[in-house]
Amino acid sequence: MRTVTVTDLYPSRGAAEVSVPRQDPVVWGSPGTPGPIPTADLQAFERDGFLAIDQLITDDEVAVYRRELERLVDDPGIRADERSIVEPKSKEIRSVFEVHRISEVFARLVRDERVVGRARQILGSDVYVHQSRINVKPGFGASGFYWHSDFETWHAEDGLPHMRTVSVSIALTENYDTNGGLMIMPGSHRTFLGCAGATPADNYKKSLQMQDAGTPSDEALTAMAGEYGIRLFTGRAGSATWFDCNCMHGSGDNITPFPRSNVFIVFNSVENAAVEPFAAPVRRPEFIGARDFTPVK
């Protein structure tokens, strides 16, 4: 077998934290390429690293996806599956991964041109699903996700060579300013922050419940927040946020009575297929970091 050597443009998980300017485009598609995103919105995505859409799917569609989410969460077989992650304290399901393979309902959403068409337009190529999941954030104590760049993890532990990956979070419940919504530092996608510390074996088992390895220092986060600020995303069910893989983002705990659930889909360019991890002893399981690079059709 021929071994492919890929230059590591974004070193991380070493002895010290490092800051590296982004080496890749943000919008890979050519100017004027047809697609559902207007030119002004693409320019805003390039500048800020994200794009918020007031209504990506209709109220009737939201109801369909909510019912499917509830069916999956209530299914004992799904709960017993390794693709389901439970809250450390409440033992309730927090996330179900590879949901587009488990559920034909969510598979149709992935293939929806309103969804995959935007990914193709941003990434300038055919795309495949690197990761998908439903996130369930019930009220009264569901824990948040600490500040991190997804790309840092996908590069270090999954072997994605370049920043040619985009995520969409589609709200299936109301996102208030109080129930643990997504926070992003606008413009942070322009700088890669390589984190300090080696990747533990089987790190994914812990990180899917609480992020530890691959998290920035307090000093780095303070500097980035001072430079970029923090944007909190709110919106009705059916709204969506597209964001670049290198955005510094996180979410707080949900201590309100109001649940916050969403479906989360990560599209990667077929021209950016995963290689061996850049800073981890072994690959993560395929339900977290796909090795099937078949384009979405």
pLDDT, residue 111, reads 98
pLDDT tens for 265-295 read 999 999 999 999 999 999 999 999 999 999 9
- The pLDDT value recorded for residue 89 is 74
CA gap 201, 142 in Å, rounded: 26
pLDDT at position 140, please? 87
With 0.75 as the threshold, say if the pTM is over it.
yes
Distance CA(150)–CA(126), nearest Å, equals 21
What sign for the dihedral angle of Cα 53, 235, 267, 108? negative
How many Å apart are CA 243 and CA 278, to the nearest integer?
23
Going by C-alpha positions, the residue among 143, 35, 100 that lies closest to residue 292 is 100
Dig out the tokens for 289 from the structure. 């970091």
Q: pLDDT digit string (tens) for 115-125?
A: 999 999 999 99
pLDDT, residue 210, reads: 46
Is residue 106 scored above 70 in pLDDT?
Answer: yes
Which domains are delineated in the chain? 42-133+141-256 (2.60.120.620)
The pLDDT value given to residue 138 = 84
Tens digit of each residue's pLDDT (9 = 90 or more) over 196-211:
999 988 776 655 544 5
- 247 vs 240: CA distance, rounded Å: 16
Mean predicted lDDT score pLDDT of the chain: 93
- Where in 138-271 does DSSP place strands (E)? 145-149, 165-171, 182-184, 191-194, 231-232, 240-244, 248-251, 260-269
